[in-house]
Amino acid sequence: MFLKRAVLALQALLAATLLTGAAVAGPVVNSGHIESELVAQESGIAPGGTIYVALRQKIIPGWHTYWRNPGDAGEATKITWTLPQGWSAGDMVWPTPQKAKLGPLLDYAYEGEVIIPVPISAPAEAQVGTTISLNAAVQYLVCEQVCVPEDAKLTLLLPVVAGAAGADPKWGPVVADVLAKAPKPAGLKAVFKLDGASLKLAVTGGPLKGADMAGAYFFPYSPKVIEHAAEQVIDRGPEGLTLTLKPGYDFVGGGTPPAELQGVIATKAGAWEVTATAGDPPATAAGLGAPPAETAPASTSGGLLGALAFAFLGGLILNLMPCVFPVLSMKAASLAGHAHDAGKTRLQGLVFLLGVVATFLALAGLLLAVRAGGAAVGWGFQLQSPLVIAGLALLMLLVALNMSGVFEIGTSVQNVGSGASAQGGATGAFFTGALAVVVAAPCTAPFMAGALGYALTQPAIISLAVFLALALGFAAPFVAVAFIPGLLKLLPRPGAWMDVLKKGLAFPMYGAALWLVWVFAQQSGPLSLAHLLAAGVLAAFGAWLYGLGQERRASGKPALVSILVALVSLGLAFTIATFGALHAAPPTAAAAGAEAPTGPGLAAEVWSPEKVAELQAAGRPVLVDFTAAWCVTCQVNEKVALSGSKVAEAFKAQNAVYLKADWTNRDPVIAKALADFNRVGVPLYVVYPKNGGQPVILPQLLTEGLVIEAIEKAGQ
């Protein structure tokens, strides 16, 4: 039936073309956020002639598509033509874009309606009186707070006429106006020069003489030559202007500095294409100063500086997230041990900082390398590996046993009471910082998500700078306490109480080990879990034997056999755990099916992009929970905000659906969905209104009231 209707529609269009002798556009395609069609400047084309055929797109309010250089993020619109033999399509003529600011990012975009002309040429042997079909497959990214890739297949029927055809009565003047205003060469002379931390671009020539330079802006064709979000400072001259830009990756990030700087210089008087070569800016391009409204210095709130500030703040807040609680005990015990020795305390603070920074940068570098290899992974990827989880679980168990006094590292058992303050030296502080990052970093804190999203769209050197700011924020509280004598003096003097405190603080570490075992069970299935539990028993046995050997050696008795058997037990434990992790058999999402509620709360269904589209088409509100078993914040939110009867009643009243996207194991589809929301980690909570409006992102820390309010709004 559909094919029959399509044939009839095509026949009707062809008949209309033959009767009127005018170009006829195919049906307007609505891809969800955009209506697209092909329109022609001329009503026909002569053999050997060239006319402009334009892609016309009407974008829904609040959303935008992208210019040829999308800026900090996004993707340019692409057109793939299918033309008859001998016909050809030229380059797209891009209208001057708008600047779209989103947090620390700046994009070059189109809003409302955009018309992009393309020259179409007919061969000299084209037959007069025939009608040809121009077919275009268009791909584009349309964005608001989130981005959605869409596409459209468009058609235009164009008659071949004997002479010059007249302008299309409807679209001819519109396309002509777009072509007249589009940036084009105008004989401008442009030079650029890297001047310290600034990039000077000087442009002089006819159209700029005496023109109004207020709001002048340079849109580069390459995404790597400038920092897009940084302000462009204007200095006017009698023959033109000089823009002070912030150089990008190609100049200062390890890229290859270009021989030419190409782009569009846009002013109130118009926009022109420029190609700048290296050289000294002429005196006639500067000297009159900037317009009054632009005398302020370049902004430092956006771009890289904004991302660094957000990352530092996110790192500070990360210390308050539930992910970090298991390792707070290690920090507390380490700090208490040297509270009244300023020198050792400061050393611990600095070494702890070094451990945090080194681990953050190592994880960031590995993440960037894996993503550069084409894998769809995000922040927290290390805990998507059963092998890493198994190793951390055994490590946490051994740390807890050490804090409980089963065995000692760095001192003998007989000196535990009097020498507790000697525990946790520089090596321990470094280890504490590294372990805190490995366990805590997978959860994202407020401000942290946006900064990481920005970092992963930038060159490697900028990405690592953002991760460094995150590490400094994360380590700042512990380092500050280590360097503030007034805070340290509040702690009691060293004594036997410190041994009691250390043993008491071992229990959160036992809890962390159990949590990791639970995560491993979600990833690997029951058989692999049995391997890990057996490995845990062997590791505990080995730790006990090692402690027994330490006691015998301290009392002058032979201890070699005990220590050797302990080491063999520990080695065997890690071998068994490794075997179980490598032979993990996690259940698939399809096998898992819908998840029943554990109490009066919500029943979760398995997420997929197709499921969301199906529910939206049915007019039902949707809450998507991007979660993972290794994300403690996710689990806390589920128990606190998503398990109550009131939330379940609100969902039932609004006919809403709760979908869970479980990222416990690596899943490229979920990773792509997170990237579409400019996120690289979990938790992420997205509410889709029933009327098909734009999705709403909820905060990373939920309450019952917040969830109920969001679902009720989505159901209106």
Q: What is the mean pLDDT of residues 410-419?
A: 35
Q: What is the pLDDT of residue 494?
A: 54
Cα gap 335→308, rounded to integer Å: 28
Cα gap 20→15, rounded to integer Å: 9
Q: Are 363 and 439 in contact (CB under 8 A)?
A: no
DSSP state of 695: -
pLDDT band at 409 (very low <50, low <70, confident <90, very high): low
- Residue 444, C-beta contacts closer than 8 angstroms, at least 6 positions apart: 314, 318, 379, 452, 633, 679, 680, 681, 682, 683, 700
Looking at every residue in the chain, the average pLDDT score rounds to: 77
pLDDT band at 154 (very low <50, low <70, confident <90, very high): very high
Which runs of E-coded beta strand occur in 546-634? Answer: 605-606, 622-627
Cα gap 383→191, rounded to integer Å: 50
pLDDT tens readout for residues 604-613? 899 988 888 8
- Peptide linkage before 104 cis (omega within 30 of 0): no
Higher pLDDT, 667 or 267: 267
pLDDT band at 300 (very low <50, low <70, confident <90, very high): very low
pLDDT band at 223 (very low <50, low <70, confident <90, very high): confident
Q: What is the pLDDT of residue 414?
A: 31
Least confidently predicted of 209-223, 423-437, 640-654: 423-437
Cα gap 136→80, rounded to integer Å: 6
Q: What is the mean pLDDT of residues 662-686?
A: 78
Reported as half-sphere exposure (CB side, CA atoms, 13 A), residue 581 has a value of 25
Q: What is the pLDDT of residue 456?
A: 55
DSSP state of 145: S
Residue in the structure block whose two tokens are 């994202």: 444
Higher pLDDT, 680 or 196: 196
Q: What is the pLDDT of residue 19?
A: 43
pLDDT tens readout for residues 498-520? 567 667 767 877 877 787 787 77
pLDDT tens readout for residues 200-220? 999 988 788 777 777 889 999
Higher pLDDT, 694 or 449: 694
pLDDT tens readout for residues 45-85? 999 999 999 999 999 998 899 999 998 888 899 999 999 99
Least confidently predicted of 6-10, 37-41, 562-566: 6-10
Order of strands across the sheet with 622-627?
A: 605-606, 657-662, 622-627, 684-688, 696-698
- Residue 332, C-beta contacts closer than 8 angstroms, at least 6 positions apart: 501, 505
Q: What is the mean pLDDT of residues 538-544?
A: 87
Say yes or no to pLDDT of 421 above 70. Answer: no
Could you give the percent of the chain with pLDDT greater than 90?
A: 23
C-alpha angle 422-424-428 in degrees, rounded to nearest 5: 150
DSSP-based three-state secondary structure for 515: helix
pLDDT band at 291 (very low <50, low <70, confident <90, very high): very low
Q: What is the mean pLDDT of residues 406-413?
A: 56
Burial label for 301, CB within 10 Å (0-12, 13-18, 19+), is: exposed
Tokens of 687: 């509410």
pLDDT band at 114 (very low <50, low <70, confident <90, very high): very high
Instruction: Give this prediction's pTM.
Output: 0.45
Say yes or no to pLDDT of 288 above 60. Answer: no
Higher pLDDT, 113 or 493: 113
Q: What is the pLDDT of residue 42?
A: 92
Cα gap 663→383, rounded to integer Å: 10
Say yes or no to pLDDT of 12 above 50. Answer: no
pLDDT tens readout for residues 228-274? 888 888 888 878 888 999 988 888 766 678 899 999 999 888 899 99
Beta-bridged to residue 278, according to DSSP, are 192
pLDDT tens readout for residues 163-208? 777 888 889 999 999 999 999 888 889 999 988 788 999 998 878 8
